[in-house]
Structure formats: C-alpha cells, structure tokens
Amino acid sequence: MIAYLDGADHRYSIQVASASHSGRRSSNEDAMGLMDLGAGGLCCTLADGAGGHGHGELAAQLTVQAVLEGFRENPLFAPASLASLISQAEHRVSGQQSTSASRMHMSATVVVLCIDPEQGRALWAHWGDSRLYWFRAGRMHLRTEDHSLVQQLLHAGLYEENDPRRLPNRNVLAGAIGAEGQVPPSIRANAVALEAGDVFLLCSDGLWEGMHESEMEQLLTASQRPDEWIQRMVGRVVSSGNPHQDNLSALTVWICPRETND
C-alpha cells in the first residue's frame, strides 16, 4: 500500500506505505491504519495483539479502530489528545475482555503518530514494545523505548548487553492496552518540527527484532519510495529463516518537499 497525501495548505507532501506478514504463525494478529483529514491532520497507528484463541487479532483491531475513530471525532494536535486516543483504545478493549472468559487476557501494544500538515509538526505516543523510529538525513534520529521487563532490567543495570534482541524474556511486557502492567503509556510532550527528508517508521516487534537499525538505514538509503523500503525490510526479515518468526508489520511516513509550478 502507498498513499500520497498533499494539500494546498500542507507544508510538505506526505507519502505513506505499509506492509504486513504473518511470519511463521498461522494467523496475523497485527493491525494498522491511518486517518487522513487533510488540513485537519494525519493519524497513523499500529497495534500488535496477544492473548490466545485468536483474540490478539481482535484486541489489535479494536485498538486501531478506537484510535482512528477518536482522531476523526476530535482531531486535536496535542499530547493530551494522544493520551485520550490511547485511553479510548484501552476502554474499548477492556470492555470486550469482560464479555467472555476467553477474551479476559487479550491485549495489544500500540504506537500512534499524528502530523499537523499545515505547521509541519509531529507528535507520537506508544504503549508496549511496538516502536516508532524517526530517521533524519538517512540516519536514525530517535526511537521509542519499549515498555518491557527487559528494558526495566536494562535501566536497573542488571544487563551489560544493551540490545534487547539478545536477552531472555524480551517479550514480557510491562504495559500495553488491556494488560495488567505497571508502566503507563509514553506520550511525546513536545511537538517536533519536521524537515523535508524526515522518515517515520511504526513497526511491531516482529520487524525490529529481526533487523538492526543499521540495516534499516542501509535499506532506506537504497530505496527511492516508501513502499520499496518497507517491502525490502519485511522481505529481509522473512528470508532470514527464523523458525519462530512472529507476525511483522510496518507503516512508514515520508516527509517530502512539495512540488511547485514556479
């Protein structure tokens, strides 16, 4: 999927692409989507579900639906608005948990990116170990920090290794939609000013666990379009031959200079 978003009042042209793969799993419990309101803003979100009996897929779908519907109804560009979107998703999933015993433990990670196209600004939020990466000038500029047991142990200095990909219990979450965690969602407190060439990547752990940031940068430099980059990353992870490969999903937003007729 690739979408080209532009408008007379947009500071930049925006290109969005996404891809998903079930990996070695029988079903895909990731979900993602976007809501483009033109001058009203752009909201992109990705969720990775868990919970057994197929209800991880439901939790991820409910999370994405709640975030996008909430943004459509109240497209405010503010940290409090992002916090509200995640709260609405939590309410949606918890409401379904109580409907049956099999749904009681369903949960989902979530990452949300909102862009103000007129002012050229971005805000984001996340909960769990689905990540947002921000690339500038072809290099990773920032990434979100996982809400996981491993990340907490890293902060406590109990591991010398600082790459969670190689550590045990790396999939144990400290917080997520519908989970009984102690860590609240992280909300970006201040909007960032965008520049032409900025690239954002929202992805589930099935992608980032199978690919180092340097590989992301390498493939980004070699790609002319966002869909090309996404497909290359997903293809590389899938072809690595991991017999336990989890679902992997990615959504990317490219900030591009606007074409003028001057």
How much is the pLDDT for 54? 66
Q: 86 lies in a domain?
A: yes
How much is the pLDDT for 162? 66
Q: 40 lies in a domain?
A: yes
What span, in angstroms and rounded, lies between the C-alpha atoms of 231 and 236?
Answer: 8
Q: 262 lies in a domain?
A: no
Q: 59 lies in a domain?
A: yes
Burial grade of 96 (CB within 10 A; 0-12, 13-18, 19 or more): middle
How much is the pLDDT for 233? 98
Q: 137 lies in a domain?
A: yes
CB 71 within 8 A of CB 35: yes
How much is the pLDDT for 181? 77
When divided into structural domains, the chain yields a total of 1
Q: 71 lies in a domain?
A: yes
How much is the pLDDT for 94? 93
Residue type, 202: L
How much is the pLDDT for 261? 47
How much is the pLDDT for 109? 97
What span, in angstroms and rounded, lies between the C-alpha atoms of 167 and 93?
Answer: 30
Domain that holds residue 189: 2-257
Q: 49 lies in a domain?
A: yes
User: The domain that contains 167 carries what CATH number?
Assistant: 3.60.40.10
Q: What is the mean pLDDT of each run of 10 residues along the chain (262 residues)?
A: 86 97 94 96 97 83 98 97 98 92 91 97 97 98 92 73 69 89 93 98 96 97 97 96 93 90 44
Tell if the pTM clears 0.75, that is, is over it.
yes
How much is the pLDDT for 77? 97
- Kindly state the tokens that stand for 96: 């379904």
Q: 118 lies in a domain?
A: yes
How much is the pLDDT for 161? 62
Radius of gyration of the chain (CA): 18
SS (H, E, C) the chain: CEEEECCCCCCCEEEEEEEEECCCCCCCCEEEEEEECHHHCEEEEEEEEECCCCHHHHHHHHHHHHHHHHHHHCCCCCHHHHHHHHHHHHHHHHHHHCCCHHHCCCEEEEEEEEEECCCCEEEEEEECCCEEEEEECCEEEEECCCCEHHHHHHHCCCCCCCCHHHCCCCCCECCCECCCCCCCCEECCCCEECCCCCEEEEECHHHHCCCCHHHHHHHHHCCCCHHHHHHHHHHHHHCCCCCCCCCEEEEEEEEECCCCCC
